[in-house]
Amino acid sequence: MAASRSKKKNPGRKPSAKPKPRAAVKTAVTRRTAAAAKPAGKSANPLGLEKKPPGQFDTLQEIALEAWRKMPAPVWDHLMGGSDSEMTLRRNRAGLDALALRQRVLVDVRNIDMGTTLLGQKLDIPVFPAPVGGFLSKVHHEGGPAVARAAVSRGTTAFIATAAKPSLEAAQEAVERRLVFQLYVRGDRTWIEGILDRVRAAQYGALCVTVDRNYYGRRERDIVSGLPVKEGFGDQSYQASLNWKDLVWMKERVGLPLIAKGIATAEDAELAVEHGADVVYVSNHGGRQLDHGQGSIEVLEEVVKAVAGRAEVLADGGVLRGTDVVKMLCLGARAVGVGKLLGLALSAGGERGVARMLELMEVEIRHVLGLMGVTSIRQLGPQWLREVPVLGTPSPVSAYPLLEEAVRTGRA
Ligand SMILES: Cc1cc2nc3c(=O)[nH]c(=O)nc-3n(C[C@H](O)[C@H](O)[C@H](O)COP(=O)(O)O)c2cc1C
């Protein structure tokens, strides 16, 4: 994850100097190696190992590696880091790694149905881009519309954040499918009414209120690097004053189904349902808010039990692989959000990068289900999981061994 790249260990990436895109470093190294290795008059690739054209990703790790090469170190740390000691961030991965999948064999798995629904809308894959606020426009000129188009092209939905650029309208206008709008409250009721009216007029399909950001997590990597992300826009105190009755009012005002994002206990799941949530979204903000919390997957089961079928359940937190998605589905999530992986894909390949990431997720999920002997995600449940000891040190990069190695050694 947030890389083990102290300034001393890796003088090439000083946050103080204008960070050098890793792409430049890589090109230099690749050129030198290729020239030295080329024997006169012979093919440069006697083993047939042709170099892929840039931007062609056959694996999720290539997407992550490309993002790592491209992104200046402080931006990488902002995306991949968490709050304070980053314990919640690591527990998201540790919780996923602590579960093994069971496999059954000799099942005809030529056809696998991984379709699901969200509030009655069909999703071809049980994965969607989570809201990642203003980050989109840090790494892409268009942000919201690009993510919306990529998601819809792969048959899924996207959550568009309040801070997404250029506007909430632009993202929804970019696609036919009705998306989900994610709200941060930065003003009084008149301010909220203004936003909710725009959400409705833009024809979003649902309102997602994020409830785990009443204070802005202390992301010390950003504080130390001086990356100007600070606490977002507007007056944060309105977000800090939110209560359950506000959710009821917002749902009435917008006239759309309500998603409560950031639920991490059975008690709050119960309250969310009581106050009209149609969807309970299990999340700890990717480990960016409360430190020393539980991993998302660790709380999923208690939330699903508390909801008891009265609302739909979504989840996110540490998801970087098809296996992660399948584990969350086994514990009762209907679909799973990706935050960091979305940021990586957008940085690595723009809109096409996000579409490719979702496609590769689909490939991975299909392989996982096939190898488990499962032909439909409806067959999934806790019976497919076993608790196991965690191997290695879980972190946001540990799901990708090549990336982990690159980050550890500093080699692109
Ligand atoms: C760079 C970044 C920006 C985010 N911005 C928002 C936001 O504006 N609104 C929100 O509800 N969640 C936000 N999140 C949290 C994500 O929606 C999601 O809950 C989280 O990233 C999931 O964990 P993962 O990153 O391990 O996949 C952000 C996450 C990241 C990484």
Distance from C-alpha of 375 to C-alpha of 377, rounded to nearest angstrom: 7
Q: Specify the ligand 1 atom closest to the Cα of 80.
A: 31
Distance from C-alpha of 135 to C-alpha of 318, rounded to nearest angstrom: 17
Asked if 104 and 365 touch (Cβ cutoff 8 Å), the reply is: no
Residue 13: per-residue pLDDT: 40
Measure 251 CA to ligand 1 centroid, in angstroms: 22
Distance from C-alpha of 278 to C-alpha of 249, rounded to nearest angstrom: 14
* Residue 343, phi then psi, degrees to nearest 5: -60, -40
Q: Specify the ligand 1 atom closest to the Cα of 261.
A: 11
Distance from C-alpha of 182 to C-alpha of 6, rounded to nearest angstrom: 35
Pocket of ligand 1 (CB under 6 A): 79, 92, 130-133, 135, 161, 163, 182, 210, 261, 283, 285-286, 288, 316-319, 337-341, 343
Active site (catalytic) residues: 285
Measure 342 CA to ligand 1 centroid, in angstroms: 9
C-beta contacts of 322-325 below 8 A and 24+ residues apart: 322/361, 322/363, 322/364, 322/365, 322/366, 322/367, 322/368, 323/96, 323/101, 323/364, 323/368, 324/96, 324/399, 325/126, 325/127, 325/361, 325/364, 325/365
Residue 134: per-residue pLDDT: 82
Return the DSSP state at 20.
P
Query: What are the E-state strand segments in 14-146?
Result: 99-101, 116-118, 121-123, 127-129
Amino acid letter, residue 145: P
Measure 135 CA to ligand 1 centroid, in angstroms: 9
- Of 92, 133, 320, residue with least CA distance to 216: 133
Residue 140: per-residue pLDDT: 87
Residue located nearest, by CA, to atom 21 of ligand 1: 339
The per-residue pLDDT string of the chain (412 residues; one tens digit each, 9 = 90 and over) reads: 444 443 333 333 434 434 444 443 333 333 333 333 344 445 556 676 677 776 789 999 999 999 999 999 999 999 999 999 999 999 999 999 999 999 999 999 999 999 999 999 999 999 999 999 888 888 888 889 999 999 999 999 999 999 888 999 999 999 999 999 999 999 999 999 999 999 999 999 999 999 999 999 999 999 999 887 766 667 888 889 999 999 999 999 999 999 999 999 999 999 999 999 999 999 999 999 999 999 999 999 999 999 999 999 999 999 999 999 999 999 999 999 999 999 999 999 999 999 999 999 999 999 999 999 999 999 999 999 999 999 999 999 999 999 999 999 987 7
* DSSP codes joined into one string, 205-220: SEEEEE-S-SS----H
3-state percent breakdown (helix, strand, coil) of the chain, nearest 5 = 45, 10, 45
Helix (H, G, I), strand (E, B), or coil: what is residue 161?
strand
Pocket test residue of 165, 181, 288 for ligand 1, highest count of atoms within 8 A of CB: 288
Measure 109 CA to ligand 1 centroid, in angstroms: 34
Residue located nearest, by CA, to atom 10 of ligand 1: 131
Residue located nearest, by CA, to atom 11 of ligand 1: 210
Torsion of CA 282, 311, 162, 360, to 10 degrees: 60
H-helix or E-strand spanning residue 29: helix 22-37
Measure 133 CA to ligand 1 centroid, in angstroms: 7
Query: Positive or negative, the Cα torsion across 364, 356, 67, 262?
Result: negative
Q: Specify the ligand 1 atom closest to the Cα of 163.
A: 8
Q: Specify the ligand 1 atom closest to the Cα of 232.
A: 8
* pTM for the full predicted model: 0.89
Q: Specify the ligand 1 atom closest to the Cα of 319.
A: 27
Asked if 184 and 239 touch (Cβ cutoff 8 Å), the reply is: yes
Measure 252 CA to ligand 1 centroid, in angstroms: 26
Residue 16: per-residue pLDDT: 41
